[in-house]
Amino acid sequence: MERGFWYYVNISYTILCMLLTVIIYLIGYLKNKVGFTISHFLIFLLASLLPLIGIVLILFVFDKQSIDYSALIMPVSLLTIGYGILKHDFLEIRTLARETIFENNFAGMVVLGPGKRIIDYNKAAEKFFEAINISLNNNPIEQILIHEPKLLEIFKSDTNCNFSLMIDGEERFFEIDALPLGGSHEGNTKMLKSIRDITEERRMQEKLKYLATTDSLSGLYNRAEFMNLARNEFTLAKKNNVELSLLIMDLDNFKTINDTFGHAAGDEIIREIGNIITTSFRKTDIPGRIGGEEFAVVLKNSSLEEAKMVAEKVREIVSRRKVIYGEQEISLTVSIGVAAIRGTTNDINDIEDILKMADDALYKAKAQGRNCVVTLESGVEVTE
């Protein structure tokens, strides 16, 4: 067959396509796009050059040998392309996975290369750092986070950490996980840092913890949590040989109030007593509602005398307080029993013992006419 004009047009077009393919892929490799490595490029280059060599041989050697070199070389080229598809993802399956898993992930993701240099990040990570006025680039992480030493320490670490910072005047909490990528060869391991906002989870956990440990009516610790905290504090007091006081207060004639004004009025009184206790004791003290109208407070590092003074102060505040419910004015009084241990006390071995002492003192206060304070130390009544 003679080679006409369109034969050379076809050959020229084929050669041009192959050369452009190689050039485009070379540009992608030089721009260091994700997934473009030297092995990718060399395989693709070989697969493109083989048929090009076959075409050149046809043009210059076909008349001598009458062999279609392109037909002989094409299977080798196809096998090379097939290897590249399976081995190096020429069909861009990884690119699609990157878009789905990496780029569009709600968690911020930063890939650190050798020397802790940022080599890749997604949109969420960029948004996270923009919120704290930091621009990401391919500089070392030490340079980017030079003004955020705490965050820098976390990013340099190979362990998972929790971190909080102020964003737009609000404290937000983040979980920053570290995942090594690839094997470790001479310190060249890549590291993926994922940044997940756990603020809402943290708030939900705190809300659940509050509901599980707090009496909803008084706002004080419920009985279970109070006993747990009181027991821990008692153990510390015995171990460190320090004083500890506990008082129990009971609303006088609370059943009569409920019967006279209704349970809604009783609930309002419980709320009022909770407010009085919250504002009358130190933040380090442990207040709780341990019964219907019974309350208890553990006073850390407090002697019996100090606890008695505080108890008298609370009793006076309650006796002066009037609760307005509807058009009714309700007067209140409380009886309070106080007990204490000293570091050298040997006959008190458990929080239940001191709790019983305070309860006995409360019983004596009720027997003496209510609206008074009775104190006990080691089971002996000290004063009214």
DSSP 221: B
**Does 342 lie in the same domain as 236?**
yes
Tens digit of pLDDT for each residue in 366-380?
A: 999 999 999 986 544
Q: Is residue 209 part of a domain?
A: no
Domain termination residue (choose one: 61, 91, 121):
91
Q: Is residue 160 part of a domain?
A: yes
**Does 356 lie in the same domain as 222?**
yes
**Does 267 lie in the same domain as 162?**
no
Q: Is residue 48 part of a domain?
A: yes
Q: Is residue 149 part of a domain?
A: yes
Report residue 11's pLDDT band, with 50, 70 and 90 as the boundaries. confident
Q: How far apart are CA 307 and CA 32, in angstroms?
A: 72
Average pLDDT over residues 76-87: 76
**Does 227 lie in the same domain as 363?**
yes
Q: Are 267 and 217 in contact (CB under 8 A)?
A: yes
Q: Is residue 208 part of a domain?
A: no
Domain termination residue (choose one: 56, 91, 126):
91
Tens digit of pLDDT for each residue in 355-367?
A: 999 999 999 999 9
**Does 324 lie in the same domain as 189?**
no
Instruction: Give the lowest-confidence range in 135-149, 242-256, 282-296, 351-365.
Output: 135-149
Q: Is residue 321 part of a domain?
A: yes
> Could you tell me the two tokens for 56?
């050149």
**Does 270 lie in the same domain as 319?**
yes
Average pLDDT over residues 115-141: 89
Q: Is residue 156 part of a domain?
A: yes
CATH code at position 311: 3.30.70.270
Average pLDDT over residues 151-178: 91
Query: Which residues span the domain enclosing 140?
Result: 98-203
Average pLDDT over residues 287-306: 95
Domain termination residue (choose one: 91, 111, 133):
91
Q: Which residues contact 121 (CB under 8 A, 6 or more apart)?
A: 108, 109, 110, 111, 136
**Does 147 lie in the same domain as 34?**
no
Q: Give 337's strand partners.
A: 248, 374
Q: How far apart are CA 355 and CA 230, in angstroms?
A: 10
The predicted pLDDT at position 80 comes to 81
Q: Which residues contact 64 (CB under 8 A, 6 or more apart)?
A: none
What's the CA angle centered on 209, arms 251 and 238, to 5 degrees?
Answer: 65
Q: How far apart are CA 111 and CA 131, in angstroms?
A: 19
Average pLDDT over residues 261-277: 94
Examine the pLDDT at 306 and tell me if it is beyond 60.
yes
> Could you tell me the two tokens for 234?
């008692």
Tens digit of pLDDT for each residue in 316-349?
A: 999 999 999 888 899 999 999 999 987 665 678 8
Pairing relationship of beta strands 334-341 and 373-377 according to DSSP bridges: parallel
**Does 233 lie in the same domain as 379?**
yes
The predicted pLDDT at position 264 comes to 92
Q: Are 140 and 116 in contact (CB under 8 A)?
A: yes
Q: What is the CA radius of gyration of the chain?
A: 39
**Does 304 lie in the same domain as 234?**
yes
Examine the pLDDT at 34 and tell me if it is beyond 50.
no
Tell me which of 122 and 187 has the higher pLDDT: 122
Report residue 384's pLDDT band, with 50, 70 and 90 as the boundaries. very low
Place of tokens 């020429």: 90
CATH code at position 106: 3.30.450.20
**Does 324 lie in the same domain as 281?**
yes
The predicted pLDDT at position 292 comes to 92
This prediction's pTM:
0.62
The predicted pLDDT at position 276 comes to 96
User: What SS3 class is residue 199?
Assistant: helix
Examine the pLDDT at 39 and tell me if it is beyond 80.
no
Average pLDDT over residues 75-94: 69
Examine the pLDDT at 289 and tell me if it is beyond 80.
yes
**Does 189 lie in the same domain as 239?**
no
The predicted pLDDT at position 383 comes to 47
The predicted pLDDT at position 56 comes to 81
Q: Which residues contact 201 (CB under 8 A, 6 or more apart)?
A: none
Report residue 90's pLDDT band, with 50, 70 and 90 as the boundaries. low
Tell me which of 301 and 346 has the higher pLDDT: 301
Burial call 270-279: b when 16+ CB within 10 Å, e when fewer: bebbbebbee
Q: What percent of the chain has pLDDT above 70?
A: 86
Average pLDDT over residues 271-296: 96
> Could you tell me the two tokens for 302?
């407090």
Q: Is residue 280 part of a domain?
A: yes
Examine the pLDDT at 217 and tell me if it is beyond 80.
yes
**Does 249 lie in the same domain as 315?**
yes
Report residue 62's pLDDT band, with 50, 70 and 90 as the boundaries. low
The predicted pLDDT at position 378 comes to 57
- How many CB atoms within 10 Å of residue 37? 12
- The tally of domains found in the chain comes to 3
Q: Which residues contact 252 (CB under 8 A, 6 or more apart)?
A: 332, 333, 334, 335, 366, 370, 371
